[in-house]
Amino acid sequence: MCGIIGYIGRRNIVEVLISGLKSLEYRGYDSSGIAVLKNKKILRHRTVGKVVQMESTIPAEFHHFVVSKNEENLVGIAHTRWATHGKPSEENAHPHTDCKQKFVIVHNGIIENFIEIKNKLTKHKFSSETDTEVLVHLIEEKYKGSVLDAVKEAIKLVHGSFAFVLISTYEPDKLFFARKDSPLIIGLGENEKFIASDVTAMLKYTNKFIFLENDDYGIVTIDDIKVYNTKTTALQNRNVAVVNWTAQMAEKAGFKHFMLKEIYEQPQVLRENITARVFGEDIVFNDEVKFSSAQLKKIKKILIIGCGTSYHAALVIKYLYEQILKIPVEVDIASEFRYREPVLSKDTLAIFISQSGETADTLASLRMVKENKILTLGVCNVIGSSLYREADSTIYIRCGPEIGVASTKAFTGQLICLYLFGLYLAKLKSILSEQRYQELLNSLYKVPSYIEHILADTSYIKQLAEMFYMKKDFLYLARGINYPIALEGALKLKEISYIHAEGYPAGEMKHGPIALIDKDMPVVIIATKGSLLQKVFSNLEEVKSRDAKVIALTNYGIESKSIDYKIVLPETDEIISPILNVVPLQLLAYYIADRLGCEIDQPRNLAKSVTVE
Ligand code: M6R
């Protein structure tokens, strides 16, 4: 959480830093700040609220300074915050400085032992409640003539996660950085350099990046980058990656919100993933999945880990793989998995799903599994992210930047990739009949155009949003492979509209939750064609006879007088249906939140990338 950016070069530095911050706002948006070096002094401005607040109140002295004169390099840093230690306030907003205003820092992560360090820095004067301020004072304390040495000494003492950028009046032409368990990426331009939490902040200026690795620290100057690593004394050589995303991909393109744009991008995302991997009847994962056929054939168990929406994707895949691969699949929430004592067997393939590739709990689980010498496969949207680099192999979900905090296209992107991977494994292990394999592949081909059909006319879903936006609670019910879609529908609604919503397996209702039902409770039920439809209908009757208002996702030809409102969807194979069924639920959540006037792309208390546990 939190977005950080640093710049050294000759552009309008305020513009570079603020536009970068705006594209990092999905990482946190309760306060923001900027600091630049001017005449060997630190100029700093911070405000509570979003980046626009900070931008609109920026003092005039910043503007006099923004464009480089006399070939002088401009150096600055900026931050958008998601509060962990200390409430959102100007004092707690980054950048933070030391006692003598010689150093200024922006930080993403948590310094876990900050109280212990603070207690030792008795001569220092602190002006915030943050953990970050301790770091800059520690660097001040360690400074003996070299800023890099001070950084090196300081990071030896801190525990927790951090990505930080620091500038100093002592060495004004440099950006100092360090990272541990939080992402940090250097952007390479002509006579300029950038450093930020995410490539989206730098895409306007470059598509060449160095993805820093854990425990890296170093210096960026206008024409050089020096990367060191705390685990070794040698200077590190880090590869430059070219990212094929464009700045336009990270813009709203006429949509009211990123979330809506991203919902509409799903057909394209699915097509791209299919086209990249399906050639005739063959599914190919050659460049991505580096395991040998022999290794894959030996797999006897699959473990899938994720958080939030990525966890819901994992649950769908459990149903799918157990059906088509006939091997046990265990799914866990990363924050639970890492603290239990899972029994891991060597013939397991462990799959880690994460849009960002930076979710702290997912990465910790990955590292834990790797220690047990088990094959690990990442499923990720960000090339160069920690998951991308650390998993033995990684499937890239080709979604383009997902900016809306509520994950939509990454979810269907994760599903399509793992569906294709499942079919690929099934063929390799000769488990599915040729006919069933072909049927499923054909059904997958049709999904993008079915989603286009749903997106072509959303007026009915908007009407439903208009009818139900004032409700305080919603229940989402489904069975079998669509049960995780009920969970996902409820998560979408609660995170962007703040309406309480629960996803439940429909068959479990009588064991408690049915007590919640009365005439005020809207129940969204997935009743599309499939082997459990009759069972779903029985559950539907149970809620209807307690006066619930029933909104059903169905297909043509499915009739019931107990359904009050019907969202009719194109019919597909039951095991493919989750990819389709989630789309109207994303739209319903979106339109309800929009009707309520919520901050859809940046819901309260949330951040897109959860880099702290
Ligand atoms: O980047 P990740 O996929 O690892 O993120 C996991 C969750 O934080 C994420 O899916 C979150 O639940 C979304 N806000 C859901 O819309």
For residue range 319-366, list pLDDT tens digits in order: 999 999 999 999 999 999 999 999 999 999 999 999 999 999 999 999
| pLDDT confidence bin for 75, thresholds 50/70/90 | very high
> Could you tell me the residue ranges of all domains in the chain?
3-247, 252-455, 459-595
Ligand 1: centre distance to CA 540 (Å):
30
pLDDT at 39: 80
Using CA atoms, how far apart are residues 314 and 295, in angstroms rounded to an integer? 22
**Over 70: is that where the pLDDT of 199 sits?**
yes
Ligand 1: centre distance to CA 307 (Å):
6
94 burial type by CB count under 10 A (0-12 exposed, 13-18 middle, 19+ buried): buried
Q: Model's pTM, two decimal places?
A: 0.86
Residue nearest to atom 16 of ligand 1 (CA): 406
Ligand 1: centre distance to CA 21 (Å):
20
Give the range with max mean pLDDT: 20-34, 91-105, 595-609: 91-105
Query: Which residue shows structure tokens 């626009």?
Result: 52
Ligand 1: centre distance to CA 227 (Å):
30
pLDDT at 305: 98
**Tokens, residue 35:** 């600091």
Ligand 1: centre distance to CA 551 (Å):
26
| pLDDT confidence bin for 605, thresholds 50/70/90 | confident
Question: Closest by alpha carbon to 389, among 371, 374, 399, 376?
Answer: 376
Cβ(94)–Cβ(81) under 8 Å? yes
| pLDDT confidence bin for 71, thresholds 50/70/90 | low
- Ligand 1 atom closest to residue 492's alpha carbon, by position in its atom list: 16
Same CATH fold, 459-595 and 252-455? yes
**Over 70: is that where the pLDDT of 68 sits?**
no
The 8 Å CB, 24+ separation contacts for 395-401 are 395/285, 395/288, 395/289, 395/421, 396/288, 397/269, 397/273, 397/355, 398/269, 398/272, 398/273, 398/276, 399/265, 399/269, 399/355, 400/245, 400/249, 400/265, 400/269, 401/200, 401/245, 401/249, 401/250
Which among 407, 412, 493, 585 is the best mutation to test ligand 1's pocket, defined by most ligand atoms within 8 Å of the CB? 407
Q: Which helix (H) or strand (E) holds 493?
A: helix 483-497
CA distances from 163 to 3, 242, 360 (A): 10, 22, 13
Question: Closest by alpha carbon to 226, among 186, 268, 262, 257?
Answer: 186
CA distances from 460 to 412, 454, 566 (A): 22, 10, 9
Query: Which residue shows structure tokens 């993933």?
Result: 273
Which among 198, 200, 263, 310 is the best mutation to test ligand 1's pocket, defined by most ligand atoms within 8 Å of the CB? 310
pLDDT at 30: 86
Cα-to-chain-centroid distance, residue 19: 20
Ligand 1: centre distance to CA 62 (Å):
36
Which among 359, 399, 493, 606 is the best mutation to test ligand 1's pocket, defined by most ligand atoms within 8 Å of the CB? 359
Using CA atoms, how far apart are residues 400 and 405, in angstroms rounded to an integer? 14
- Ligand 1 atom closest to residue 407's alpha carbon, by position in its atom list: 16
| Percent of the chain surpassing pLDDT 90 | 78
- Ligand 1 atom closest to residue 608's alpha carbon, by position in its atom list: 14
Ligand 1 pocket, CB under 6 A? 307-310, 354-356, 359, 362, 405-407, 491, 495, 610
Cβ(413)–Cβ(398) under 8 Å? yes
Question: Closest by alpha carbon to 506, among 467, 332, 560, 528?
Answer: 528
Residue nearest to atom 12 of ligand 1 (CA): 308
pLDDT at 417: 98
Which among 355, 361, 397, 417 is the best mutation to test ligand 1's pocket, defined by most ligand atoms within 8 Å of the CB? 355
Residue nearest to atom 4 of ligand 1 (CA): 354
| pLDDT confidence bin for 399, thresholds 50/70/90 | very high
**Over 90: is that where the pLDDT of 1 sits?**
no
pLDDT per residue over 123-152, tens digit each?
999 999 888 999 999 999 999 999 999 999
**Over 90: is that where the pLDDT of 28 sits?**
no
**Tokens, residue 591:** 């339109």
Least confident of 89-93, 218-222, 473-477, 490-494: 89-93
**Fold exhibited by the domain 459-595:** Rossmann fold (3.40.50)
pLDDT at 247: 83
- Ligand 1 atom closest to residue 362's alpha carbon, by position in its atom list: 4
Beta carbons within 8 Å of 132's beta carbon, 6+ residues apart: 85, 94, 96, 105, 107, 111, 164
| pLDDT confidence bin for 250, thresholds 50/70/90 | confident
Residue type, 155: I
Question: Closest by alpha carbon to 381, among 403, 398, 364, 405?
Answer: 398
Least confident of 193-207, 214-228, 502-516: 502-516
pLDDT at 70: 64
Using CA atoms, how far apart are residues 166 and 175, in angstroms rounded to an integer? 6
CATH 3.60.20.10 fits 3-247, yes or no: yes
Q: How many CB atoms lie within 10 A of CB 507?
A: 18
Residue nearest to atom 2 of ligand 1 (CA): 354
Cβ(551)–Cβ(567) under 8 Å? yes
- The CATH number of the domain covering residues in 252-455: 3.40.50.10490
pLDDT at 69: 63
| Percent of the chain surpassing pLDDT 70 | 99
**Tokens, residue 556:** 């043509």
Residue nearest to atom 9 of ligand 1 (CA): 308
Catalytically annotated residues:
2, 608
- Ligand 1 atom closest to residue 606's alpha carbon, by position in its atom list: 14
Ligand 1: centre distance to CA 602 (Å):
13
Using CA atoms, how far apart are residues 416 and 341, in angstroms rounded to an integer? 31
CA distances from 183 to 2, 5, 82, 606 (A): 11, 12, 15, 18
Ligand 1: centre distance to CA 355 (Å):
7
Q: Which helix (H) or strand (E) holds 16?
A: helix 13-24
pLDDT per residue over 284-294, tens digit each?
998 899 999 99
Across the chain, mean pLDDT equals 93
Residue nearest to atom 7 of ligand 1 (CA): 308
pLDDT per residue over 538-592, tens digit each?
999 999 988 899 999 999 999 888 999 999 999 999 999 999 999 999 999 999 9
Ligand 1: centre distance to CA 308 (Å):
5
Mean pLDDT, residues 441-458 taken together: 97
**Over 80: is that where the pLDDT of 267 sits?**
yes
Question: Closest by alpha carbon to 503, among 531, 482, 519, 518?
Answer: 482
- Ligand 1 atom closest to residue 306's alpha carbon, by position in its atom list: 4
Beta carbons within 8 Å of 221's beta carbon, 6+ residues apart: 8, 173, 174, 175, 193
Ligand 1: centre distance to CA 332 (Å):
14
- Ligand 1 atom closest to residue 356's alpha carbon, by position in its atom list: 1
